């Protein structure tokens, strides 16, 4: 084979080696480990044209209509985003690498449940039948009991600093993410009909994780219908993977 042949083969092998080395280095040590349930980590896939099975992280992301969105201007500035009005007018969108913190079944989830139920009760105030109101509320509560208990609570540029702030791996997941800022317009009133607001959103880089055929057998077996636990690990570079799937 001539030199040009070795060059093209070398490029493919070198790029593959770099990607595999990164993967091996990440998985050479378990940094944090969190056990979730099928409420937070439902497994699906395995269709005719795409046979892989995926675990999808379900979580609640907070919203806030203040300038800077739910992350706030201080956190956005720490990520390197310019949140001044002039900069936002010039660049209406921005995307920066970050780490997101997701809290599992903690105070943030309890507050969220209380807030959702209170909000639903307010919408039922006009309903004249007390019995109907109670049954609707029960239905709503049971719906919440099937929902994911993961809530996004923080994001920052430094995973080590976040790990120090949230030291309990059973309670807090720290995952690679992208923080996006964008401009929103909203109507505020006749004197100033449109207000410009800087919003923010945090997206996990890998919300779907591959699950092996062996792991997924637990979900497929009849006993799997009762539910299952998923052990999610993150490694040296904080990239996550599914370590175990066990029956509940």
Minimum CB separation from another protein for residue 43, in Å?
12
Residues lying near another protein in the complex (CB under 8 A) are found at 1, 4-5, 7-9, 11-16, 19-20, 22-23, 26-27, 45-46, 48-53, 80, 89-91, 93-97, 176, 178, 205-206, 209-210, 212-213, 237, 239-241
Going 116 to 122 to 125 to 126, the CA torsion angle's sign is negative
CB of 110 to another protein, least distance (A): 30
From 245, 177, 248, 174, select the one nearest 211 (Cα to Cα). 245
Compare residues 108 and 174 and give the one whose CB is closer to another protein.
174
In the complex, the smallest distance separating the C-beta of residue 57 from another protein, rounded to whole angstroms, is: 11
> How far is it, in rounded angstroms, from Cα 150 to Cα 171?
9
Which of 96, 171 has the CB closer to another protein?
96
Cβ closest to another protein, residue 109 vs residue 234 = 234
Question: Least distance to another protein from the beta carbon of 88, Å?
Answer: 11
Q: Would you say 26 or 148 has its CB closer to another protein?
A: 26
| Rounded least distance, CB 121 to another protein, Å | 41
Quickly count: other Cβ atoms within 10 Å of residue 28's Cβ: 9
Q: Nearest Cα to 45, choosing from 221, 213, 204, 233?
A: 213
Q: Which two tokens stand for residue 179?
A: 């923080």
3-state secondary structure 132-167: HHHHHHHHHHHHHHHCCCEEEEEEECCHHHHHHHCC
| Pick 30 or 136: Cβ nearer another protein | 30
Which two tokens mark 147?
């929902």
Q: How many CB atoms lie within 10 A of CB 165?
A: 13
């Amino acid at each position: 084979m001539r030199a040009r042949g070795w060059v093209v083969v070398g490029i493919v092998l070198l790029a593959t080696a770099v990607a595999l080395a990164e993967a091996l280095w990440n998985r050479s040590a378990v940094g944090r480990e969190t056990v979730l349930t099928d409420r937070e980590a439902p497994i699906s896939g395995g269709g005719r044209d795409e046979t892989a099975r995926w675990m999808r992280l379900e979580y609640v992301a907070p919203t806030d209509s203040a300038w800077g969105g739910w992350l706030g201007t201080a956190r956005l500035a720490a990520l390197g985003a310019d949140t001044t009005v002039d900069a936002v007018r010039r660049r209406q969108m921005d995307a920066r690498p970050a780490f997101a913190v997701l809290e599992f079944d903690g105070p943030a989830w309890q507050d969220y449940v209380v807030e959702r139920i209170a909000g639903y009760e307010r919408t039922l105030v006009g309903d004249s039948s007390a019995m109907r109101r109670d049954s609707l509320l029960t239905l709503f509560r049971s719906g919440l009991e099937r929902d994911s208990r993961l809530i996004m609570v923080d994001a920052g540029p430094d995973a080590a600093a976040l790990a120090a702030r949230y030291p309990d791996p059973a309670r807090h997941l720290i995952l690679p993410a992208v923080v996006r800022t964008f401009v929103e317009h909203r109507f505020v009133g006749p004197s100033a009909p449109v207000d410009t607001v800087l919003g923010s959103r945090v997206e996990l880089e890998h919300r779907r994780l591959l699950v092996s055929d062996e792991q997924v057998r637990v979900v497929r077996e009849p006993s799997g219908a009762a539910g299952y636990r998923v052990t999610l690990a993150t490694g040296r570079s904080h990239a996550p993977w599914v370590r175990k799937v066990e029956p509940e």
